[in-house]
């Protein structure tokens, strides 16, 4: 990541009287600062940690873009094609390849790719039907969209040098709050005011019901937060840990251990990528079930 | 250049996930991606796959029904075969019995015929033997009479033929 142009400019500053203070401030900071800090670390002969650099959103083209990562990142407009755009587009491409190109033969005896697509279809279809019942199958395409998108985004994020779109709270919050608002509006549209029975435990003793209602209400509004932070947190943590171990590989003594650890954590992350997509999808189904059958 | 860097470093400090200036960009592209995936799945992929699955399960149930039908027909054919086999066995037993009875009858007839022939021959032979025995006794008497006559002649006397015969007959009775 550390490049010469950035390093030289920062060195020009650092070589002033307050150079030591500057480099101390710069540790753990952003791109240009990391280049600076990395340089300082190299001078000290130590290790270079910047595990969060992989999550920086950059434009695809121009200075500070993904091909010139050493330059400062320019301001990003809503329409700028960024690495987010690139990896989202690849996820879309994977979905198209698996489900459209893979099944183009419409074969009764399926090809390998087609049978994988059918497997995903059957798995998600069964999940929606088991959790929400037959009425939930109307919303199966939405759940399928979320599931395959998160699954492919997670797995694409595991490719070395890639960008994990689902590690960003902006992405997962859109997904999580989208489910939250969708399910809440659907609940009121389908059930009217009786959707509020979801919070009123008719089995509980009467004096406990208001208290339970308050707790249920709070937990209901925490759902989208936990739903989105769970996904982003899992992916971010896994990738950051791998990057930290990768930094340790720079030390000859611990590098074999570091490589083994990266391998192990990578295996774990492959599991996490699948499991988190599954968890997101099945929680969506559970919330959808509340909207379809609000009475406990 | 240096001041720009310092500004950049202040803006970008902390987690890139919490850099709110990138949020509109991410949300914009995410929504596009989700809409595209949704449209691709709901318009093309899911109807196609569900069609393929339905067709396959139809084919499988048809094939199973056909297999059931064929199995039934095989069972029927086996029953017919078994029946034919049993009939043939009964028929063959019957034919064998018939042949045995016929053979027995032939044998019995032949045996009876043979027995009859043997009895006739035996009776013939017995008659012959009796005749021979009778004629032998007669011949002995004639020979004895001739011998007695010759003996008498040899002794130089003559006797009446009738006397000799009576004497021989008398002696032979004794």
Count Cβ–Cβ pairs < 8 Å, chain A vs chain B.
168
Q: Which has the closest alpha carbon to A85: A112, A104, A66?
A: A66
Which of A4, A5, A16, A57 is best to mutate for the B interface (most B CBs within 10 A)? A57
Spans of all domains in chain A: 1-81, 82-292
Q: What's the gap in Å between the CA of A281 and the closest CA on chain B? A: 14
Tell me the C-alpha distance between A72 and A65, whole Å. 9
pLDDT band at A169 (very low <50, low <70, confident <90, very high): very high
Residue B35 at interface with chain A, using a CB cutoff of 8 Å: no
Residue B151 at interface with chain A, using a CB cutoff of 8 Å: no
pLDDT at A21: 39
Interchain proximity A106–B48, CB inside 8 Å: yes
Residue A74 at interface with chain B, using a CB cutoff of 8 Å: no
Interchain proximity A82–B22, CB inside 8 Å: yes
- Residues of chain B in contact with residue A1, where contact means CB-CB under 8 angstroms, are none
Interchain proximity A80–B51, CB inside 8 Å: no
Match 């064929």 to its residue by tokens: B70
Q: Which has the closest alpha carbon to A1: A243, A286, A254?
A: A243
pLDDT digits (tens, 9 = 90+) for A7-45: 444 444 334 334 333 433 433 334 444 444 444 444 444
Q: Any idea which of A42-51, A166-175, B71-80 has the lowest mean pLDDT?
A: A42-51
pLDDT at A143: 96
Residues 118-147 in A contacting B (C-alpha not used; CB under 8 Å): 118, 121-122, 140-142, 144-145
* Cβ contact B77:B84 at 8 Å: no
How many Cβ atoms sit within 10 Å of the Cβ of residue A15?
Answer: 9
Q: Which residues pair with A82 in a beta bridge?
A: A59
């Amino acid at each position: 990541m550390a490049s010469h142009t950035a390093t030289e400019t920062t060195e020009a500053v650092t070589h002033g009287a307050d150079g030591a203070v500057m480099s101390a401030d710069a540790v753990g900071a952003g791109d240009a600062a990391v280049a600076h800090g990395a340089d300082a670390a190299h001078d000290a002969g130590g290790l270079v940690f910047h595990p969060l650099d992989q999550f920086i959103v950059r434009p695809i083209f121009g200075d500070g873009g993904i091909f010139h990562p050493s330059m400062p990142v320019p301001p990003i407009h809503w329409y700028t094609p960024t690495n987010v755009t690139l990896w989202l587009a690849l996820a879309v491409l994977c979905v198209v390849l698996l489900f459209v190109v893979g099944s183009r033969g419409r074969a009764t005896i399926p090809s390998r790719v087609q049978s994988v697509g059918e497997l995903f279809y059957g798995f998600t279809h069964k999940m929606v039907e088991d959790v929400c019942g037959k009425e939930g199958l109307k919303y199966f395409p939405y759940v399928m969209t979320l599931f395959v998108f998160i699954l492919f985004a997670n797995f694409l994020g595991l490719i070395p040098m890639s960008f994990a779109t689902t590690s960003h709270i902006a992405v997962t919050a859109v997904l999580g709050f989208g489910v939250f608002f969708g399910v809440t509006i659907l609940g009121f549209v389908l059930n009217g005011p009786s959707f509020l029975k979801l919070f009123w435990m008719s089995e509980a003793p009467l004096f406990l019901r208001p208290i339970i209602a308050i707790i249920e209400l709070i937990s209901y509004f925490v759902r989208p937060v936990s739903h989105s932070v769970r996904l982003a947190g899992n992916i971010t943590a896994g990738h950051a840990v791998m990057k930290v171990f990768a930094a340790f590989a720079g030390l000859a003594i611990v590098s074999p251990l570091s490589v083994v650890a990266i391998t192990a954590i990578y295996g774990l992350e492959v599991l996490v990528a699948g499991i988190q997509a599954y968890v997101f999808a099945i929680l969506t189904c559970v919330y959808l079930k509340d909207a379809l059958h609000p009475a406990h | 250049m240096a001041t720009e860097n310092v500004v950049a470093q202040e803006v970008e400090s902390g987690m890139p996930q919490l850099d709110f200036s990138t949020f509109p960009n991410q949300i914009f592209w995410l929504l596009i991606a989700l809409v595209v995936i949704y449209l691709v799945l709901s318009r093309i992929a899911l109807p196609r796959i569900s069609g393929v699955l339905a067709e396959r399960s139809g084919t499988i149930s048809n094939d199973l029904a056909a297999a059931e039908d064929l199995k039934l027909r095989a069972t029927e054919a086996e029953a017919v075969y078994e029946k034919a086999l049993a009939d043939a066995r009964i028929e063959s037993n019957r034919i064998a019995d018939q042949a045995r009875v016929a053979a027995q009858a032939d044998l019995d007839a032949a045996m009876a015929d043979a027995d009859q022939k043997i009895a006739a021959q035996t009776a013939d032979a017995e008659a012959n033997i009796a005749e021979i025995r009778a004629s032998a006794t007669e011949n002995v008497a004639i020979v004895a009479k001739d011998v007695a006559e010759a003996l008498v002649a040899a002794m130089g006397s003559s006797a009446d033929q009738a006397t000799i015969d009576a004497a021989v007959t008398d002696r032979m009775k004794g």
